[in-house]
Structure 1
Amino acid sequence: MLDLWKHYPQIAKQLNDVRSLMHQLLSSNNQAIQALLNDCAQQQGKMLRPGLFLLFAQLGQPDKRQTEKLTKIATSLEILHQATLIHDDIIDDSPLRHGTITIQAKYGKDTAVYAGDLLFTIFFELLIETMNGTPYLKINSDTMRHLLHGELNQMAARFQQQQPISNYLANIKGKTAALFRLACMEGAYFGGLNQPKMVALAAQIGENIGISFQIYDDILDYSSSTVTLKKPVLEDVAQGVYTLPLLLAYQQHPAEFDQLLAKKQQISKSEIQLVSQLVKKYHGVKQAKQLALNYTHQAIQQINQLPSGKAAEELQQLTKKLLKRTF
């Protein structure tokens, strides 16, 4: 988090407040759950969703009396994100995330499920405290539905190498971009930039940033090492989650992939490496990068329509920086 936000000192300071509030809220009388929650509070990663929320809130030049409320809403976004990560790691049986052993691997699936559920209850409490009387109780509910549908559709598409690119994009609009969209919308609305046109623009920007972010995340699986990426690379292929670089390369030369991918769960590590080599050979990574860049360009063009000033400039810088990250 420090590396990403060190050039945005005001946002970094506010994110420290978010972190402090999370430490206060993540509590349980159950010792195993409390130990897990302590780890969860300490393992926060890029803090992108609350950071984007706070950047958009700055565009509206919010009253200082709103600071506590904005901190709570930003915290709700990170808690929702953390809850979904815990459940994702349970489903994926993933051993590592960001170089650290996952919650489910360390504490067991049962404890992780209960902890994820507890995070959802804390999330709902923050919504009730900050959003009663606004449209955003329903908007949060709709966003959670989009997140779930994105994950369910991705699960349904496992081991389907012939799925259309449009299906992949629809899935990541749900499982990833929906929360980016929510963060930016809420920032505009609760920060005071709450004209319908501006809120709609914020939503579009968030969705484009989120789509680009997820595409680039999927690219890193083919272009980074486990040490750099801080998670097992090519884990998606082993689990039958075929992301954009593979889907694009497959469209060019399906016959070369079919024999390997037909093995499904029985595919070996060496065969997964061969899939990776084919993805690069047939320009899957290159084409995926271009599509991520297109969504980033769309977001930047939309950011240019926001009120000019420091917050908009920082938003542009951050959007470009996300395409240069190594994990």
Structure 2
Amino acid sequence: MPVHPMWEPYPRLQSDLQSVLQVIESHLQIHDKQIEATIKDLVYSGGKLLRPAYTLLCSQIGDVTHQEKERSIAVAAALETLHMATLIHDDVIDEADFRHGNPTIHTQQGNQFAIYSGDYLFCVCFTILSKYARTLAHLEFNARSMEKILTGELDQLHARYQKGTSIKDYLTRISGKTAQLFAVSCYSGAVTSQATRRQTMLAWNMGHYIGMAFQIIDDILDFKGDFNTMRKPTLADIRQGVYTLPLIYALREQPEQLHPYLDKKADLTDEELMEILAIVEKTKGIEKSRWLALKYTDKALKSLNKLPVGDYKETLYELTAMLLERKI
């Protein structure tokens, strides 16, 4: 079962990620074979499997005698199904036509079909966790984490087209929407290795900071990237009413210039979007966002530095640097 080519330099991790996909597929048993086939297509659609990779790497934090590969692979699989479920629901809410360059489920099968598919993956997530979570408290922790992720998604939905969104509002939103799942992925991996309380919290903090920086950079790339990089049109977020950090910084400097554009909501023309981009660049909204992403990156690396010595740390450094230094 192939995984993304980015894992080829890490054959051990590549093999474990293939096992993650196998665990997910083994739990996809639906009476409606059309839905089952659609979900399997999503599983093998070319996602990078970043969150399970962090789970697997952090499962090496604890004492080597306590590391259980089967458990860590299963927990990584559960968290990836949670991630896929949120992506399906996101695509419905955002009316996104593509995911990883492929048509989204709702564009092919309709919203009802897509929502059911996402709900089913939530069930798969907890089915796997119920078998492999080390303690009931760990299972409850993951349930609370899922609640925070969904709250972040709801916050984004309520914030659409809101010109008064503050930097604090934005950071709170991405803390739930993105950083929470990175944090719980790192934390859960550490828990499976029976790492100490301090070590698991370091893993949590590292994942949180990585997730914050990751989302900020993603949002910058919406302004500066291209379709081949993001697999979605540039400035798609503004058209959908999702006002991210570069625009929020610009709104603080030039509200009188930007409000007439934003009042048009989804009716913005391509030319007007380019004029918004020019204002964002003029007010250094992208540069300021980049600075904040680097600040979170520094915090992530400081947490990583405090983790126990091991081969896994070098891979964590390389993976984190690769994610947080994407072309802007």
The TM-score bracket by the shorter chain reads over 0.9
Mapped partners of 1:10, 1:276: distance in 2: 43
Aligned to 2:208: 207
Structure 2 gap segments, 5+ residues each:
none
122-131 vs 103-112, which deviates more?
A: 103-112
State, as a whole percentage, how many aligned pairs show the same letter: 38
Aligned to 1:14: 16
Of 160, 163, 166, the match for 1:161 = 163
- Secondary structure of the structure 1 residue equivalent to 2:163: coil
> Residues 262 and 299 (structure 1 numbering): CA distance in 2 closer, same or farther, change over 3 Å?
same
Structure 2 contact 186–207 (Cα < 8 Å) conserved: yes
Matched AA of 1:246: L
State the 1:281 CA deviation.
2.2
| Alignment RMSD (CA, Å) | 1.7
Mapped partners of 1:283, 1:253: distance in 2: 11
Matched AA of 1:196: R
Mapped partners of 2:63, 2:117: distance in 1: 36
State the 1:18 CA deviation.
0.6
Mapped partners of 2:272, 2:141: distance in 1: 44
Mapped partners of 1:44, 1:83: distance in 2: 16
Matched AA of 1:131: A
Aligned length: 326
CA deviation string 1:221-240 (max 9, x = no partner): 01111233212221110111
Mapped partners of 1:121, 1:305: distance in 2: 35
Aligned to 1:68: 70
State the 1:65 CA deviation.
7.6
Structure 1 gap segments, 5+ residues each:
none
CA deviation string 1:57-83 (max 9, x = no partner): 122254588222211111001000000
Moved over 6 A (4+): none
Mapped partners of 2:257, 2:157: distance in 1: 24
Aligned to 1:271: 272
TM-score for the superposition, normalised by structure 1 = 0.95
Of 28, 31, 35, the match for 2:30 = 28
Mapped partners of 1:274, 1:139: distance in 2: 45
Aligned to 1:291: 292
Matched AA of 1:293: L
TM-score for the superposition, normalised by structure 2 = 0.95
Structure 2 contact 23–77 (Cα < 8 Å) conserved: yes
State the 1:321 CA deviation.
1.0
> Residues 3 and 61 (structure 1 numbering): CA distance in 2 closer, same or farther, change over 3 Å?
farther
Mapped partners of 1:304, 1:182: distance in 2: 19
Aligned to 2:126: 124
Mapped partners of 2:189, 2:134: distance in 1: 16
Matched AA of 2:127: E
